[in-house]
């Protein structure tokens, strides 16, 4: 049975699951008692056209009663005060459909926040701002295939007041209503239709321009356990508890969702499928996926496959201390049980740019001697964790969390000139874009985004968090370079090999020392990296090559290598193609 409500002009039928004793529907101000049927489902059919009625539930347990919004609500008024009944037909827009998705391995993901990205749009801080000319053109020019957008489900009004959006800043990792878009991103949070329609317009326009949309979903915890609708409907079944009765807190947010409980598991699966179908989303990024259980994640994969096998699932598969058996956690250590689900590869991040948690963390490009470890990532992760396919690796060095690479280098590599640091950072991004697996960029990484050294900017100012188009212009040479490299990756199949066996067969390591790496793919593409401060001779097969990239430029020169000798200049990332 479908939870939530079914609307028609003649009647509306309500269903809600709860282990309560008694349950009443509050329709506008009228209280109507619900009938308890099989399997703890309370139902009621109410005659008449109920469009725009508000509805809430009074949920009565032996010892307590609650007034709650429907966990399955799909529309609400401003600041999630009350659920609202809408006519689904009126929430549709013309010609909105699924985009034909490419293989996850062919994707290049770009992570942005609606607010940061639209601060100088006409529709400032709104869904519609993302698709204004300047914003959309930037994405198109860069050439990424998917945007991954920071939370846009309804998050807490304690974080952002929907009626006074710019008073406070917040990323929104504090879920309130899982199936409703966030109201502050709409031009009229009071009208329950507006946020739905404007979000659809944004997704449609991105689709029309060949860009997929990945939704950042946060099913691992809620803003406030005791006041959340899931708690009010199933109480203790909603969260995990320690032996002493306190909330399990592996998330660090105060409460871990008990995804292993059948109702919560079904709820999460239903929610993902609802977004995939109603909003035609192209992927889901699971925040702290390591909190969730394997079976729920597998079920999500299974159900999404029925819609489109190419819908990307990725997540933070950290091993977190939550009250769940280690063998059941959807984390990196259990990657072999999570086929076609990808994980943020912190191993690449740490070995390439230096650990984000170590203030002095250095990686391959900035003085660390980690080429051996980095190679495992570049080759798609065969010897890392329990990965079974390169499509399980999200290759990245920067995301919304932690210091940006620019800020990290500023702390760790003070002795290196800024000019040189920009080159080293661009080399790191180049390695991300030429590795096996799925590359992921944080918006602005290509122009050395800075958050002025603020490590956790989740509630910092717009000034700290803004996507700075002026800075993009200032470093347009590097932005152009990254966009050329993106284009090149899209066209070159050798960067997207789909099995460890094929990678072993095609990958030849040519040179490896502290600051230098050189390898070939199928003896055709040669990648040469030098992050040291001096030129170095590399042994390459003699013959004619196309010099595709060097000195952070796309080139198209034919060169000839004689006596197996190629001089690789300092601080350079080179791609040669044997012809």
List contacts with Ca ion (CB under 5 A): 154, 157
Q: Are 220 and 293 in contact (CB under 8 A)?
A: no
* Nearer to Ca ion among residue 150 and residue 269 (C-beta): 150
Q: How far is the CB of 195 from Ca ion (least distance, A)?
A: 9
* Nearer to Ca ion among residue 157 and residue 271 (C-beta): 157
Beta-sheet strands, E only, within 115-206: 146-149, 153-155, 175-181
Q: Are 506 and 494 in contact (CB under 8 A)?
A: yes
Q: Are 556 and 548 in contact (CB under 8 A)?
A: yes
Query: 215 forms bridges with which residues in the sheet?
Result: 149, 284
* Nearer to Ca ion among residue 79 and residue 345 (C-beta): 79
Q: How far is the CB of 567 from Ca ion (least distance, A)?
A: 58
Q: How far is the CB of 159 from Ca ion (least distance, A)?
A: 8
Determine which one of 293, 316, 350, 410 is catalytic.
Answer: 316
* Nearer to Ca ion among residue 221 and residue 385 (C-beta): 221
* Nearer to Ca ion among residue 79 and residue 445 (C-beta): 79
Question: Could you count the other beta carbons within 10 Å of the beta carbon of residue 123?
Answer: 19
244 is catalytic: no
- Listed residue (78, 53, 54) closest to 189, CA to CA: 78
DSSP code for 241: B
- For 49, how many CA atoms within 13 A lie in the half-sphere containing its CB? 4
Determine which one of 287, 293, 350, 571 is catalytic.
Answer: 287
- Listed residue (522, 517, 500) closest to 379, CA to CA: 500
- Helix or strand run (H / E) with residue 284: strand 283-286
CA distance 185 to 172: 11
Q: How far is the CB of 253 from Ca ion (least distance, A)?
A: 17
* Nearer to Ca ion among residue 195 and residue 496 (C-beta): 195
Q: In what order do the strands lie in the sheet with 516-521?
A: 507-513, 516-521, 525-530, 572-578, 543-550, 553-561
Q: Are 503 and 436 in contact (CB under 8 A)?
A: yes
Q: How far is the CB of 150 from Ca ion (least distance, A)?
A: 14
CA distance 329 to 323: 10
Helix ranges (DSSP H) in 160-293: 192-208, 229-234, 262-278
Q: How far is the CB of 286 from Ca ion (least distance, A)?
A: 20
Q: How far is the CB of 186 from Ca ion (least distance, A)?
A: 10
Q: Is 501 helix (H, G, I), strand (E, B) or coil?
A: helix
Q: How far is the CB of 161 from Ca ion (least distance, A)?
A: 8
* Nearer to Ca ion among residue 24 and residue 165 (C-beta): 165
DSSP code for 216: E
- CA separation (Å) from 336 to 137, 388, 389, 390? 39, 6, 9, 12
Q: How far is the CB of 322 from Ca ion (least distance, A)?
A: 26
* Nearer to Ca ion among residue 79 and residue 340 (C-beta): 79
Quickly tell me which residue has 């878009």 as its tokens: 181
287 is catalytic: yes
- CA separation (Å) from 526 to 501, 521, 558, 570? 20, 7, 14, 17
* Nearer to Ca ion among residue 186 and residue 376 (C-beta): 186
User: What contacts 183, CB < 8 A, 6 or more positions away?
Assistant: 76, 78, 79, 80, 154, 162, 189, 195
CA 500 to chain centre: 25
Catalytic residues, by residue number, are: 287, 316
């Amino acid at each position: 049975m479908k939870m939530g409500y079914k609307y028609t002009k003649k009647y509306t039928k309500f269903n809600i699951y709860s282990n309560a004793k008694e349950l009443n529907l509050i329709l506008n101000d009228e209280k109507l008692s619900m009938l308890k049927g099989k399997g703890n489902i309370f139902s009621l059919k109410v005659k008449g056209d109920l469009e725009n009625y508000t509805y809430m539930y009074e949920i009565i347990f032996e010892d307590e009663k609650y007034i709650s919004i429907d966990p399955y609500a799909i529309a609400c008024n401003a600041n999630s005060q009350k659920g609202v009944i809408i006519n689904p037909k009126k929430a549709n827009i013309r010609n909105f459909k699924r985009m034909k998705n490419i293989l996850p391995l062919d994707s290049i993901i770009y992570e942005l926040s609606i607010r940061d990205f639209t601060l100088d749009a006409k529709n400032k801080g709104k869904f519609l701002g993302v698709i204004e000319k300047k914003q959309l053109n930037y994405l198109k020019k860069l050439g990424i295939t998917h945007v991954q957008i920071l939370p846009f489900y309804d998050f807490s009004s304690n974080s952002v007041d929907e009626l006074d959006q710019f008073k406070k800043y917040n990323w929104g990792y504090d879920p309130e209503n899982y199936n409703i878009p966030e109201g502050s991103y709409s031009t009229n949070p009071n009208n329950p239709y507006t946020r739905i329609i404007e979000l659809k317009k944004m997704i449609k326009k991105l689709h029309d321009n060949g860009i997929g949309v990945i939704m950042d979903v946060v099913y691992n915890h809620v803003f406030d356990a005791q006041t959340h609708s899931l708690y009010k409907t199933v109480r203790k079944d909603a969260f995990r508890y320690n032996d002493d009765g306190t909330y399990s807190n592996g998330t660090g947010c105060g409460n871990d969702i008990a995804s292993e409980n059948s109702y919560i598991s079904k709820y999460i699966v239903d929610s993902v499928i609802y977004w995939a179908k109603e909003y035609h989303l192209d992927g889901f990024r699971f925040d702290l996926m390591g909190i969730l259980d394997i079976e729920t994640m597998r079920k999500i994969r299974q159900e999404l496959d029925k819609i489109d096998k190419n819908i990307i699932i990725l997540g933070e598969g950290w091993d977190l201390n939550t009250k769940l058996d280690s063998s059941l956690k959807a984390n990196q250590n259990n990657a072999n049980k999570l086929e076609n689900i990808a994980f943020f590869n912190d191993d690449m991040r740490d070995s390439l740019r230096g650990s984000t948690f170590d203030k002095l963390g250095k990686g391959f490009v900035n003085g660390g001697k980690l080429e051996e470890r980095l190679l495992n990532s570049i080759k798609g992760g065969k010897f890392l964790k329990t990965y079974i396919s390169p499509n399980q690796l999200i290759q990245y060095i920067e995301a919304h969390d932690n210091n940006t690479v620019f800020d990290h280098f500023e702390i760790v590599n003070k002795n290196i000139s800024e000019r040189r640091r920009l080159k080293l950072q661009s080399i790191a991004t180049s390695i991300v874009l030429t590795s096996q697996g799925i590359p992921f960029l944080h918006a602005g990484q290509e122009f050395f985004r800075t958050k002025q050294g603020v490590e956790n900017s989740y509630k910092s100012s717009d000034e700290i968090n803004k996507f700075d188009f002026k800075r993009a212009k200032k470093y347009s040479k590097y932005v152009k370079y990254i966009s050329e490299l993106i284009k090149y990756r899209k066209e070159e199949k050798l960067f997207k090999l789909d099995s460890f066996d094929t990678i072993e067969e095609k990958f030849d390591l040519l040179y490896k020392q502290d600051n230098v790496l050189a390898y070939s793919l199928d003896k055709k593409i040669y990648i040469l990296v030098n992050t040291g401060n001096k030129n170095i001779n590399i042994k390459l097969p003699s013959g004619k090559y196309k010099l595709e990239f060097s000195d952070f430029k796309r080139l198209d020169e034919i060169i000839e290598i004689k006596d197996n000798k190629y001089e690789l200049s300092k601080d350079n990332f080179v791609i040669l193609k044997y012809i």
